[in-house]
Amino acid sequence: MSDENTGIFQEDWPEDHRSGVVAVIGRPNVGKSTLINAILGQKIAIATPKPQTTRRTQVGIYTVPQAQMMLFDTPGLHKARNRMGEFMMNEAQFALKDADVNLWILDTSEPPTTADTYIAQTLKDMAPGTPLVLALNKIDQHKGEDYSAYTDLIEHESVYRVSALKNDGVEALVNHLIELLPEGPRYYPVDQVSDVTMRFVAAEVIREKVMMNTEQEIPHAVAVEIFDYKDNEDRTNIHAIIYVERDSQKGIVIGKGGAMIKQIGTQARHEIMEMIERPVHLDLRVKVLKNWRSNESFMRRVGYRFPKKEDN
């Protein structure tokens, strides 16, 4: 039952119930989205082997009887090279500034990089008083037993070794994160796992399939707009437009005789169908919009909206 004045869901949670925000941050491609999907036990965020997959902060909501944790899945911190990159950095910094706990994911399949040094500095500058937990991820690919190169990067509250992909060590990490949350109410209904709509998830799944099937510059040059999303009686009809930045990219996404776009469509349709558990008709079109990553009004249209100055 929702209390109309507060929006807080009044249920029978214990007196010492905890709730709060955990900002999940780190370089691109270290496994932030994979870890959040592992914690929630279902896929809410797309994850690919290509860096800069996540573009917009998305909230994963983890609810147990004694706590509710809002996990902010942020875009990987990197040097911005266009307006889109600036948007992504803004999203990540915004999240880590206001979190109750910061969770820094490090990729132990390779040594720390200068980007990690930069993140350490960002955390010191922007969130000096916030408890910091390190998650050393991809331990399934780490060579040796020495993790000091990662743990020496910054002072931290605690450190956990995990494999998000194999769901190894994740439970202990989650239990500790809950201990660090302040006492507070349950903000979302127990069955809500994310803050985004199915329309957004559908666009993300399509973008993921384009990213998985293409190489080099294309994964970063793709944006997906859901033109129409209708739940009819017998099936859901989705019309989406895939935007790229150049004619040559459009040719690759369509493929020989339309083979590539067909493959992307089939993969996306199956996954969306599994998620919503009903038949899906998916219609994809590919368009070119030169330099859209510097075009703020287009970015807003596809959901990459800079916060207003006063919210920042």
Ligand X SMILES: Nc1nc2c(ncn2[C@@H]2O[C@H](COP(=O)(O)OP(=O)(O)OP(=O)(O)O)[C@@H](O)[C@H]2O)c(=O)[nH]1
- Residue 185 interacts, among ligand X, Mg ion, none and using kind-specific CB cut-offs from 5 to 8 Å, with none
Distance CA 165, CA 263 (A): 25
Question: What residues numbered 38-77 form the site for Mg ion, per CB under 5 A?
Answer: 53-54
Q: Least separation, in Å, of the C-beta of 208 and ligand X?
A: 9
Q: Least separation, in Å, of the C-beta of 231 and Mg ion?
A: 28
Distance CA 134, CA 136 (A): 6
Do residues 203 and 241 make contact, with C-beta atoms less than 8 angstroms apart? no
Do residues 106 and 117 make contact, with C-beta atoms less than 8 angstroms apart? no
Size of the site for Mg ion (CB under 5 A): 4
CA angle 166, 169, 173 (to 5 degrees): 130
CA angle 54, 226, 305 (to 5 degrees): 50
The residue of the chain with the least Cβ separation from ligand X equals 76
- Beta pairing partners, 283: 239
Q: Which amino acid is at 118?
A: Y
- Please identify, using beta-carbon distances, which residue of 33 and 249 lies nearer to Mg ion: 33
- Residue 31 interacts, among Mg ion, ligand X, none and using kind-specific CB cut-offs from 5 to 8 Å, with ligand X
- Please identify, using beta-carbon distances, which residue of 41 and 65 lies nearer to ligand X: 41
- Please identify, using beta-carbon distances, which residue of 58 and 249 lies nearer to Mg ion: 58
Look up residue 304 and give its two tokens: 């990459």
- Residue 60 interacts, among Mg ion, ligand X, none and using kind-specific CB cut-offs from 5 to 8 Å, with none
Q: Least separation, in Å, of the C-beta of 232 and Mg ion?
A: 32
Q: Least separation, in Å, of the C-beta of 105 and ligand X?
A: 6
- Please identify, using beta-carbon distances, which residue of 54 and 214 lies nearer to ligand X: 54
User: How many CA atoms are closer than 13 Å to the CA of 164, on its beta-carbon side?
Assistant: 25
Q: Least separation, in Å, of the C-beta of 309 and Mg ion?
A: 27
- Residue 141 interacts, among Mg ion, ligand X, none and using kind-specific CB cut-offs from 5 to 8 Å, with ligand X
- Residue 137 interacts, among ligand X, Mg ion, none and using kind-specific CB cut-offs from 5 to 8 Å, with ligand X
Binding site residues, ligand X, CB under 6 A: 26, 28-34, 47-49, 51-54, 75-76, 137-138, 140-141, 163-165
Distance CA 111, CA 113 (A): 6
What sign has the CA pseudo-torsion 126, 129, 131, 135? positive
Distance CA 224, CA 150 (A): 36
User: Under the criterion CB under 5 A, does residue 33 sit at the interface with Mg ion?
Assistant: yes
Q: Which amino acid is at 129?
A: G
Q: How many CB atoms lie within 10 A of CB 195?
A: 15
- Please identify, using beta-carbon distances, which residue of 46 and 101 lies nearer to ligand X: 46
Give the residues lining the site for Mg ion (CB under 5 A): 32-33, 53-54
